[in-house]
């Protein structure tokens, strides 16, 4: 058994890139609804739509950002245990996430997670001197608070009306109109993101920091030393998630039933996220040479670029400056559209990586961190502290040379 953070053979773990690439599918799946309809309230027109909504709530909503958050914290832990000079590089990358996330929220998608990661990452980075026991205690408190806030957010409250989206302006208008709509919704969206994602993300990042410092236990062949009972936990989580999702969709449910359903659903989030992590790691690690897994690995290696690209593609599909399908799709069509966008991301990543070994957003990040040095002649091999993309790159030692593989 080796420890990931103590890897000394200079080889990255492609299974982490593949895991991140597949997790991006979940992110696209969930976010598509918020491009497709006001407040993500996609219409349900029949049994197929109802099943698509239930499946999204059960399997995807809230289940993948904890995984990304854990990988992000893992990168912070690797950096904290790494070489001298990591502090400056980490701070510059976190600052870039805050600025880039803010721009992304205004220009493409106000449900951006990068800004939140930058802020929480800065807080967690300041805690890196604490003991692992203290960090785990803080993670437990953050997770408990996150569960309650997440449940409150999931209760179907009366939301502000958005008549401009129906009247032909806002998201159905020009690109400038869509920016105005995003800015108008931003205060509400910021509260939702901080409540729904904040506590759980903080808990997962703190857990990742601890694991990154102690070392993620992997075998010499890339397998994971899995926690005991993770399968049972995932099954239990799926049952709770399915039951909670059914309760949330129940017609005429009062506040008590809605909150209980939401809380049961929220309790399932960390269990299902753990199951996805362990289960997907096992499947992907044993099939790294299969072309689908290789495609996922390429996508995951440029996760920041892919995350930004998914907003661009969904905006082109649903907003007025593109095809203008905002409000036109039911749940089944939204889910199919999300998977279509994910396939386009896979193809785009394969084409890009066949020409250039670093994604475009990652290239800009490296230029900022390394003070503009991104050419093969000026950038030497160094330890990557895992913070280049959504959730971190989670690599060992890599070269930043922008060359064909």
Task: Tell me, yes or no, whether 219 lies in a domain.
Answer: yes
Contact 205, 73 (CB under 8 A): yes
Distance, in Å, from the CA atom of 280 to the CA atom of 302, rounded to the nearest integer, reads 19
Measured from the Cβ of residue 109, the count of other Cβ atoms closer than 10 Å reads: 21
pLDDT at 382: 35
Task: Tell me, yes or no, whether 405 lies in a domain.
Answer: no
Closest CA to 110 of 31, 168, 11: 31
- The first and second tokens of residue 342, run together, are 């994910």
Three-state SS string over the chain comes to CEEHHHCCCCCCCHHHHHHHHHHHHHHHHHHHHHHHCHHHCCECCCHHHHHHHHHHHHHHCCCCHHHHHHHHHHHHHHHHCCCCCHHHHHHHHHHHHHHHHHHHHHHCCCCCCHHHHHHHHHHHHHCCCCCHHHHHHHHHHHHHHHHHHHHHHHCCCCCCCCHHHHHCCHHHCCHHHHHHHHHHHHHHHHHHHHHHHHHHHHHHHHHHHHHHHHCCEECCCCCECCCCCHHHHHHHHHHHHHHHHHHHCCCCCCHHHHHHHHHHHHHHHHHHHHHHHHHHHHHHHCCCCCHHHHHHHHHHHCHHHHHHHHHHHHHHHHCCCCCCCCCCCEHHHHHHHHHHHHHHHHHHHHHHHHHCCCCHHHHHHHHHHCCCCCCCCCCCCEECCCCCCCCCCCCCEECCCCCCC
Task: Tell me, yes or no, whether 404 lies in a domain.
Answer: no
Tokens 């857990």 correspond to what residue? 207
Task: Tell me, yes or no, whether 127 lies in a domain.
Answer: yes
- Domain with 220, as residue range(s), is 2-398
Task: Tell me, yes or no, whether 94 lies in a domain.
Answer: yes
Bridge partner residues of 330 (DSSP):
43
Q: Count up the domains in the chain and report the number.
A: 1
pLDDT at 373: 55
Q: State the Cα torsion 105-110-116-118 to the nearest 10°.
A: -10
pLDDT tens by residue, the chain, 405 residues: 444 443 434 456 788 888 889 889 999 999 999 999 877 778 888 899 999 999 998 999 988 898 889 989 988 888 887 666 788 889 999 999 999 999 999 999 999 999 999 999 999 999 988 999 999 999 999 999 999 999 888 886 555 554 444 444 678 888 998 998 888 888 888 998 999 999 999 999 999 999 888 876 665 555 666 667 778 888 998 999 999 888 887 766 677 888 888 899 999 988 888 888 888 888 887 788 888 889 999 999 999 999 999 999 999 999 999 999 988 999 999 999 999 999 999 999 999 999 988 899 999 998 888 875 554 333 333 333 334 444 333 333 222 222 222
Task: Tell me, yes or no, whether 403 lies in a domain.
Answer: no
Q: What's the maximum distance between 2 C-alpha atoms anywhere in the chain? A: 65
Task: Tell me, yes or no, whether 283 lies in a domain.
Answer: yes
pLDDT at 36: 92
pLDDT at 218: 64
Task: Tell me, yes or no, whether 143 lies in a domain.
Answer: yes
Contact 269, 327 (CB under 8 A): no
pLDDT at 225: 64
pTM: 0.84
């Amino acid at each position: 058994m080796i420890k990931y953070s103590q890897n000394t053979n200079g080889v990255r773990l492609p299974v982490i890139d593949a895991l991140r690439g597949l997790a991006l599918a979940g992110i696209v799946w969930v976010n598509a609804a918020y491009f497709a309809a006001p407040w993500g309230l996609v219409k349900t027109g029949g049994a197929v739509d109802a099943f698509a909504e239930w499946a999204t709530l059960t399997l995807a909503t809230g289940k993948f950002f904890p995984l990304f958050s854990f990988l992000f914290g893992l990168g912070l832990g690797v950096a904290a245990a790494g070489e001298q000079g990591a502090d400056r590089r980490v701070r510059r990358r976190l600052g870039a996430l805050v600025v880039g996330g803010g721009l992304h929220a205004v220009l493409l998608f106000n449900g951006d997670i990068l800004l939140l990661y930058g802020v929480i990452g800065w807080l967690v980075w300041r805690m890196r001197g604490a003991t692992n026991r203290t960090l785990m205690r803080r993670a437990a408190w953050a997770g408990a608070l996150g569960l309650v806030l997440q449940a409150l957010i999931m209760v179907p409250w009366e939301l502000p009306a958005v008549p401009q989206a129906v009247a032909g302006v806002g998201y159905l208008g020009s690109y400038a109109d869509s920016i105005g709509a995003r800015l108008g919704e931003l205060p509400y969206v910021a509260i939702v993101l901080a409540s729904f994602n904040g506590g759980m993300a903080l808990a997962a990042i703190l857990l990742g920091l601890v694991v990154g410092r102690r070392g993620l236990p992997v075998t010499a062949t890339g397998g994971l030393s899995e926690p005991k009972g993770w399968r049972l936990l995932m099954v239990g989580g799926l049952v709770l998630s399915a039951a909670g999702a059914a309760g949330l969709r129940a017609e005429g449910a009062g506040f008590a039933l809605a909150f209980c359903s939401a809380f049961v659903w929220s309790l399932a989030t960390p269990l299902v996220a753990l199951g996805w992590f362990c289960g997907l790691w096992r499947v992907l690690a044993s099939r790294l040479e299969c072309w689908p897994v290789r495609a996922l690995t390429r996508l995951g290696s440029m996760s920041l670029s892919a995350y930004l690209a998914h907003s661009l593609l969904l905006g082109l599909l649903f907003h007025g400056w593109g095809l203008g399908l905002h409000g036109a799709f039911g749940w089944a069509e939204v889910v199919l559209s999300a998977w279509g966008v994910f396939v386009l991301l896979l193809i785009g990543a394969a084409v890009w990586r066949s020409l250039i070994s670093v994604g475009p957003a990652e290239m800009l990040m490296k230029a900022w961190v390394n003070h503009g040095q991104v050419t093969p002649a000026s950038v030497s091999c160094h330890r990557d502290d895992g913070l280049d993309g959504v959730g971190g790159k989670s690599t060992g030692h890599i070269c930043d040379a922008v060359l064909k593989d």
